[in-house]
Amino acid sequence: MNAAQHAVAVAGLVVAFTVTTSGQKPRKDIDERSLTALQTWVNAVKTHTPGRSDASVVTAAAFSYETREDLNTVVGLFLTALMGWTYDTEGNKAAQAIVAMGHASGKDFLKQAAVLHSDVAAYADLHPVQSGTATKAPARRTQELQLGRGGKPEIVPLEEPMPPLLRADRVLLDKDGQVVGEVVSTWNWPFARSLLDLLSAGPRKKIFSDGRPERATDPFVAAWYHATTAYMFASGLYGDATPHLHHASMVLPDDALAVFDRGCYAEILGLPMHQALEPDPDAGRRARASGGAPTWTTPGSEPALRIPPAEQTNAEAERLFRRALAIDPSLVEARVRLARLLDLRGRHEEAGAELEAALAQHPTGAVAFFAHLFAGRAAHATGRSDEAARHYQGALDIFPDAQSALLAASHLALTRSDVPAALVPVAHLGARSNAFTADPWWRYHLGAGRDAEGLLTTLWAVVPAKLP
């Protein structure tokens, strides 16, 4: 497992703000470099094929910090024109050229740009994004995850926001339960979010506002957030997911899937994979010796890790799953995950009832597997051994090699003092596949990430056609 793919929720994470530069009035000193940067970016957006690691992805990934500074100077004016809002070019020819580009682009450009930048982030393993932050732009801690009132995890601002194009957020890397380093997160996610914010911005909204974004009304935004969140979960990019989902909570407060994703994230933070995290004092030395991660560390400082206790993250997850179900009662996976949390906290009967309701909706695949597995545990806990055995068998009927269900069945047999029956599932372990797909429990922390590829493919299919 690649440590570089496992950023975690830590202090130093930021949330995105809308596009921000120096103001609405164009600067008089727009130079050739800024114009070139804008033209390069606009061209990359317009020629990008969604989902492809094409020349546009290569171009955007290669943007240096200086290029982004140049782009940041003029992108506000471009977007103001794109939105059809008022502007004042004061006879500035360069500004007029930018406005003309903006007028020629239209709002579909924002969707295309958001997809380009999410693709740049996704293809970072092929085309590393130039952060240039270690010396050019010291990472700034603008927000951090803290426990707020009532013990709920909240993201709290610490300093003033930075323009998303210049964002240099730090996230910690973990590997197998240990913090192994720290890297600069990509600027592409916050930039993409800020572009999509414009789709819902009112006519008087300032492009450069750092205020709360408007609620999204375009279904594309919901699809983009769900697909990109799934990608982050699938890739272990929890550090990126923190501000991503916080932003989603503002633009999609009543979207069942967005609420579900937030519930999954809170639940994931409560899993041992996060609760067990701790700094590894040898990480730097070992990484240097192996020539691998971490790629960027803070000399002489311990990584700051603040993950709320499981009791609090689980309570938050329960609240969000209940809310998602209130919005969309057919969201069966929310019910199944809610039941796991209830069972975990000793509310076995409630869990059993939720799982019975979930199974009545005839889920399939991994969701059905989880429903049976959790129902088995809830039944076992309340002494209904035969029912537990049936559910474990139900899980094994779907995923015969699943270690979790095999061990659950074995443990149930052992507690019934049936040693021969306890040994049968264990014997199967030696012959089964170790592939991650063999046991959905191994991927439980992925949430919607299990379906990331399908969700992204669906998203790419609805991106507006290329612009001229």
- Least gap, CB of 419 to other proteins (angstroms): 5
422 sits near other proteins (criterion: CB under 8 A): yes
134 sits near other proteins (criterion: CB under 8 A): no
**Which one of residues 434, 437, 457, 458 is an interface residue with other proteins (CB under 8 A)?**
434
429 sits near other proteins (criterion: CB under 8 A): yes
430 sits near other proteins (criterion: CB under 8 A): yes
Sheet containing strand 278-279, edge to edge, reads 7-8, 170-175, 178-184, 278-279
User: Is residue 33 packed enough to be buried (19+ CB in 10 Å), middle (13-18) or exposed (0-12)?
Assistant: middle
Whether 117 and 127 have beta carbons less than 8 Å apart is answered as: no
**Which one of residues 66, 125, 159, 176 is an interface residue with other proteins (CB under 8 A)?**
176
330 sits near other proteins (criterion: CB under 8 A): no
What whole-number distance in Å separates Cα of residue 112 and Cα of residue 460? 9
411 sits near other proteins (criterion: CB under 8 A): yes
**Which one of residues 291, 419, 465, 468 is an interface residue with other proteins (CB under 8 A)?**
419
CB under 8 A: which stretch of 20-28, 44-52, 98-106, 283-291 binds other proteins? 283-291
404 sits near other proteins (criterion: CB under 8 A): yes
Q: What are phi and psi of 35, to 5 degrees?
A: -60, -45
417 sits near other proteins (criterion: CB under 8 A): yes
314 sits near other proteins (criterion: CB under 8 A): no
What whole-number distance in Å separates Cα of residue 169 and Cα of residue 191? 12
One DSSP character per residue, 212-233 reads PPPPP-SHHHHHHHHHHHHHHH
Whether 139 and 298 have beta carbons less than 8 Å apart is answered as: no
CB under 8 A: which stretch of 14-22, 186-194, 261-269, 420-428 binds other proteins? 420-428
Which parts of 29-87 are beta strand (E)?
A: none
Nearer to other proteins, 96 or 178 (CB): 178
Q: What are phi and psi of 101, to 5 degrees?
A: -65, -40
CB under 8 A: which stretch of 38-46, 54-62, 74-82, 171-179 binds other proteins? 171-179
386 sits near other proteins (criterion: CB under 8 A): no
Q: What are phi and psi of 214, to 5 degrees?
A: -75, 160
- Least gap, CB of 169 to other proteins (angstroms): 25
**Which one of residues 32, 149, 211, 290 is an interface residue with other proteins (CB under 8 A)?**
290
385 sits near other proteins (criterion: CB under 8 A): no
The one-letter amino acid code at 27 reads: R
273 sits near other proteins (criterion: CB under 8 A): yes
What whole-number distance in Å separates Cα of residue 199 and Cα of residue 115? 14
What whole-number distance in Å separates Cα of residue 377 and Cα of residue 373? 6
Q: What are phi and psi of 81, to 5 degrees?
A: -65, -40
Nearer to other proteins, 406 or 448 (CB): 406
Q: Which of 86, 295, 93, 71 is nearest to 182 (CA)?
A: 295
- Least gap, CB of 360 to other proteins (angstroms): 25
346 sits near other proteins (criterion: CB under 8 A): no
Whether 392 and 414 have beta carbons less than 8 Å apart is answered as: no
Note the residues at the interface with other proteins (CB under 8 A).
1, 175-178, 271-273, 276, 278, 280-282, 286, 289-290, 373, 403-404, 407-408, 410-411, 414-415, 417-420, 422-423, 426, 429-430, 434, 436, 438-439, 441-442
